Chain A
């Protein structure tokens, strides 16, 4: 947490140079966003009203040192884009342009990412008319020309029960030369609605940023407000939160491996894992009544305690599910046809992954040691360590294998924690939030790093609340993984990343 008074905006050149050189030297851009803050010392100013200067904020991480840096600057109607010198800024700058109607000049790929009007009335980075409705997915897609070149367009409504998104493939025969991803169909205006909070909708917003990451998101939020309120969460609650976070990881990783098996037609593992995923979800429901963990994590702690009978029951179920999931997944590795398919599909090199700033499973599967639980630990992870699961081949197999390692480690972690569950209360009152402050909160959700940045006004309300879903960094990774692949392998590649549409679209 930093007092905003200690974070004066620096000159734009300094801001830009600092980010570009830090990233070149190995730092990572966790967040880069714009915010219009009420004038300091103007209490009671309406936080939802967006007039005033646009301020850009950047959060940079040194993963190996476990340090974060925050810097900010003021910009006018346009500024020299960072992206040409720092590809990690690519998606962020498109978001800034869309939200605030400023133009990052020289941005090589400046298109909307969510298809909505800018937050500042009358401003538009593309000078689109206010009279004409903005249509999602209507942009100049990158195209390829030549004999026998063809374009394949998929979505927003897909063939399965999945979220909407639009994909454009430029192909020659079966081979994909380029994939462009256009999202925004799930955009429901959450970030903007968070301004002025916390209020009674804040928790439901957090729990539904990405429904499959309810715990991860609620935790990132709660840790942010707890830091702002100077609240110390009881040890028992910290442990139970981590157990819930790992259960969420277990359910999703198991489901993903099952789905990957399904995509190559290996049905035994697909069917077994589909069921075992549910067993993990039901363990979360055992704790709090809801399979996704709704209602569990709240500022100051958790709402549902784990009594002794439940603790025993959870251990019992976890043991059984652990045996079942090993049995199901080991079977998959023994099928040579599966191995060769997984091995030869969707490779992202370590260099590419570093350049794009990939996070989570996708980063670790390209050999990058990057895991919030180890590098920026909070809560019980400061004392109980989970080894970072790494593999180096960057392909579908690698992403599946990292999940499998994480499944085993999460199970071991939960068993350990259940044995040493601290006594005591599970919740404590939070109190008011510090005024005019900025806080960065990181959580390793099952997809990867969830980054929240809260900026408070003079009354301790949210002047701005930034949410960065791991998918925000990783969609571009999927696009590049598809290059030179067979288009028929798209479902498999896509599943191996399993990114969030709603978490991206917000």
Chain B
């Protein structure tokens, strides 16, 4: 017992200050990409050519980058001869609807909070059932990590539960394989209404690296309605947490820090 207490002292308090304080992120983090079309030579589409998921399109309207398909692999950045695409360490990526994820001429629209009625229902206690529907288990790993003492998801009233019947919504990862489609539908049906669906990762949003494979369904959106999309391959845990908190109205609409003083 004494040893356990000494170990406790050794290991210290490790819960991060986010969202009251800005998150500490790796300086090489590939967060939201920034495109400077002014640098693009005419008719250049090198970036679109190398992109593994065809996330980039170049046409008369200019260059567009679909964050829902993006794997945040560095290929386009490496390939661009002009340095027109670069990654920023901007971790806030969550959006409320699919189109918001297409970067181009318009301002990036961060996920909006639920309406007041839903916030009343879910704002203080959100129980989620996680469904892993294909993919590589990377998103699952970085969702799971939110339960560690570092992120301490419980302090925001968010909890992952074992049964869909105890849940307010689903958090889905993976492109939805053919072999998981039925299980996903059944799990969705088993969640009492009103319910939320959160799609985490490129796979769940668009099929990710598996876009177009006949063995999967190009993401969750075609199977059940989605309320929050969190891009990444996989998204950084802070990006996921930021998305969840935004949905619950616990983050300032455009800022990186918490709305109000205390979380929860």
Contact = CB atoms under 8 A, between A and B. Distances in A.
Interface stretch (A6-14, A161-169, A367-375, A411-419): A161-169
Contacts of B150: 274-275, 278
B148 interface: yes
B26 A274 contact: no
Nearest to A116: B215
Contacts of A189: 210, 213-216
A285 B148 contact: no
A212 B187 CA distance: 26
A295 B183 CA distance: 32
Interface residues of A, number: 62
B30 A295 contact: yes
Nearest to A271: B149
Interface in A169-188: 184-188
A193 interface: yes
B179 interface: yes
Interface stretch (B32-40, B110-118, B125-133, B253-261): B125-133
B177 interface: yes
A324 interface: yes
Interface string B198-221: 000000000011100111100000
Contacts of B140: 161-163
Interface stretch (A201-209, A387-395, A400-408): A201-209
B210 A289 contact: no
Nearest to A200: B52
A135 B177 CA distance: 12
A270 B250 CA distance: 29
B7 A204 contact: no
A149 interface: no
A466 interface: no
Contacts of B149: 271, 274-275
A157 interface: yes
Contacts of A304: 28
Contact of A188 (B30, B74, B145, B210): B210
A114 B180 CA distance: 12
Contact of A161 (B8, B52, B143): B143
Contacts of A115: 179
A289 B30 contact: yes
Contacts of A156: 180, 183
A446 interface: no
Contacts of A500: 137
B50 A200 contact: yes
> For this complex, into which size category does the number of interface residues on chain B fall?
35 or more
Interface stretch (A32-40, A326-334, A339-347, A485-493): A326-334
Interface in A252-310: 268, 271-272, 274-275, 277-278, 282, 285-292, 294-295, 303-304
B177 A188 contact: yes
A188 B132 CA distance: 13
Nearest to A259: B144
Contacts of A184: 179
B215 A185 contact: no
Interface string B50-85: 111100000000000000000111110010000000
Interface string A138-159: 0000000000000000001101
B135 A187 contact: no
Given A188-B134, A188-B215, A201-B209, A278 B73 contact: no
Contacts of B143: 161
B142 A185 contact: no
B138 interface: yes
Contact of A163 (B14, B28, B137, B215): B137
Given A187-B179, A188-B175, A500-B137, A203 B142 contact: no
Contact of B8 (A160, A268, A275, A501): A268
Contacts of B162: 159-160
- Listed residue (A214, A286, A289) with the most chain B CB atoms within 10 angstroms of its CB: A289
A209 B3 contact: no
B136 interface: yes
Nearest to A214: B138
A211 interface: yes
Interface in B150-200: 150, 160, 162-164, 174-175, 177-180, 182-183, 187
29 contacts: A136-B180, A157-B183, A160-B130, A160-B144, A160-B160, A161-B130, A161-B160, A162-B132, A163-B140, A185-B177, A186-B132, A186-B177, A186-B180, A187-B177, A189-B214, A201-B52, A204-B52, A204-B53, A204-B209, A211-B137, A211-B139, A214-B138, A274-B150, A289-B29, A290-B30, A295-B72, A327-B11, A328-B7, A502-B134
Which 4 A-B pairs rank lowest in CB-CB distance, beginning with the nearest? Answer: A211-B138, A289-B28, A211-B136, A159-B162
Given A189-B210, A193-B210, A327-B7, 10 more contacts: A159-B163, A160-B162, A164-B183, A185-B180, A186-B180, A189-B215, A204-B53, A208-B138, A278-B145, A294-B73
Interface of B: 3-4, 7-8, 10-11, 14, 26-30, 50-53, 71-75, 78, 87, 129-145, 147-150, 160, 162-164, 174-175, 177-180, 182-183, 187, 208-210, 213-216, 233-234, 236
